[in-house]
Amino acid sequence: MQPILVYIGNLGLFNNFNIFVIPQISLNMVVFSRKGVTMKLKNKLVISFCIMVFLPVILCSMAMGCLYHIQKESIERTYEVEDGAVLIGVYSPIMIFGGITDGIYEDMKVKVEENPAQFADTGYLDELSQELSAKLSCLVVRVNGRIIYNSTSLPDADIRKILPEYSDTKENISDVGTYKGGEYQNLIKQLNFRDSEGNYYSVSIVTSLKQILPQIKAFIVEVIMVIIFVLMITSLGLTLWIYSSIVRPLNKLKLATNNIKEGNMDFEMPKVSNNEIGDVCRDFEDMRVILKNSSEEKLKSDVEEKELIRNISHDLKTPLTAIKGYVEGLQDGVANTPEKQAKYIQTIANKVNDMDKLIDELTIYSRLDTNRVPYTFVRCNVSDYFGDCCEEIGTELEASQIGLEYNDHLTEPAYMNVDPEQLKRVVNNIISNSVKYMAEGRQGRITIDLYDEGDYIHVIFSDNGIGIAAKDIEHVFERFYRTDESRNSKHGGSGIGLAIVKKIVEDHKGKIWAESVEGEGTTMHLNLIKAKAENNNAQEA
């Protein structure tokens, strides 16, 4: 497992970049950059765990090494011990405590040779005791077996138990070194000698092994403080890092939810990191856009429905007024001849038919808009189908003195899968729209052309009517859309005829669009998918 370097941002632990070594987890977890790190939240948690484990260990180890070096030098300088004795003294105290009084012990031996009587001088013994106290040791002096000086905290009776007895040798000075275990745990260095008057002395350096070097105490305290400090800094840095990845985006998300709760959809989610919380925020932004569009669509739909009601009221009121007038004419005897009566009745029937067509249009569009119209697709020959439609339409157009020209440009038989009834509604609505907007004083003409364009059948409906303004051409297929009021006040219409056409064509996976020159006429283009040669079965959409 190869190590990788990870930049964790500025946590206050280093000056510029914070880099440390962790085991390689995944090379695609982290995106390195000078400004920061971008990664998934789950990867941040993994990195946080590694940082929490490895970073304190590394930093604490470095700090402990520095502190140990400082305290080691202090011990060597204070107690005059050799280099290396400090480390051994940590787990074997007797080694270091045995060496810290060697210098004083050697000086005492020199003093014994020069002037042994001074060990009976209290002033000299106080100075010697102070010097030993700096070496964490105490002084006990016995003369002829009697304790004349004791700088330990133990009573004389206990001191007698741990001090070795006087041992006389042929030399004037004898060294005695002993370790007293048990409850006392003392290291004792003792000088036995006689003065010129024959008094025998026992001068003992007593060093307790139960104590700890002040430097070691300071080292332990400093290590504990460093560990606490490193853990606090590491935890604070990681907390701020995770906080910026979770809490801040959540606060932004909360602000967004408050906006939506208050009905404000005109805000935009701030940019967030590329992680799981960021994904939620981006999904929330998508939801906001959808809600906003839905709200705007609802408002638009409400306006359209009000417009529809107004149009329907107008379109129904006009024929109803006419029907009412003709009925009153029949009741009042204005139509006093069979010819007039027949004319009145025919006019009433035509108005009723207009109302019936309007209501039928509304019913069909409502069912199409809610996808409640079951399509029955049938394989049809293109030329035969549009030929039959033109033959049926031609009779009606002839009665209205409008010419119909049908041009079949197909060079070979072509087929399509369509619902014949619904596609016929498309043709009838397009033709009816052309008839409705024929120019006055001009011989009406409608042309239907068929072309084979590979995967599509292209049907073109052209007329020489009043045309459509450029500003209206892109809206003619919108539901309830009608052009200027002056024109529609004369021709009427609900504004959903071409919307029905577009819906049916789209349900056939086709396409329809319009071209027009105002004052010259309008051209409707219809593309229908050709049926594949092997598809010979009827299908239901």
What count of residues does the chain have? 541
- C-alpha–C-alpha distance, residues 268 and 19, integer Å: 36
Q: What is the 3-state secondary structure of 470-485?
A: HHHHCCCCCCCCCCCH
Sorted by where each begins, the domain ranges of the chain are 3-74+221-251, 102-211, 276-363, 374-540
Q: What is the DSSP letter of 144?
A: T
Q: Report the pLDDT value the prediction gives residue 208, as an integer from 0 to 100.
A: 85
Token readout for 488 is 């529609």
Pick the range with the lowest mean pLDDT from 35-44, 271-280, 320-329, 352-361. 35-44
Structural contact between residues 96 and 86, judged by C-beta atoms closer than 8 angstroms: yes
Q: Report the pLDDT value the prediction gives residue 92, as an integer from 0 to 100.
A: 54
Of all residues in the chain, the percent with pLDDT exceeding 90 is 21
Task: Give the pLDDT mean for 532-536.
Answer: 60
Helix or strand or coil: residue 61?
helix
For 23-64, write each residue's pLDDT tens digit: 433 334 444 333 444 566 677 777 778 887 788 888 888 888
For 271-306, write each residue's pLDDT tens digit: 766 766 777 777 877 888 888 888 888 887 788 777
Nearest Cα to Cα of residue 514 among 433, 456, 404, 418: 433
C-beta contacts of 222-225 below 8 A and 24+ residues apart = 222/67, 223/60, 223/63, 223/64, 223/67
Q: Report the pLDDT value the prediction gives residue 464, as an integer from 0 to 100.
A: 92
For 397-456, write each residue's pLDDT tens digit: 888 889 999 999 999 999 999 999 999 999 999 998 899 888 888 889 999 999 999 899
Give the residues across from 449 on adjacent strands: 407, 460
Class of domain 374-540: alpha beta
Task: Give the pLDDT mean for 139-150.
Answer: 91
Class of domain 276-363: mainly alpha
- 257 φ, ψ to 5°? -65, -35
Structural contact between residues 202 and 166, judged by C-beta atoms closer than 8 angstroms: yes
Q: What is the DSSP letter of 507?
A: H
Predicted confidence band of residue 169 (pLDDT cuts 50, 70, 90): low
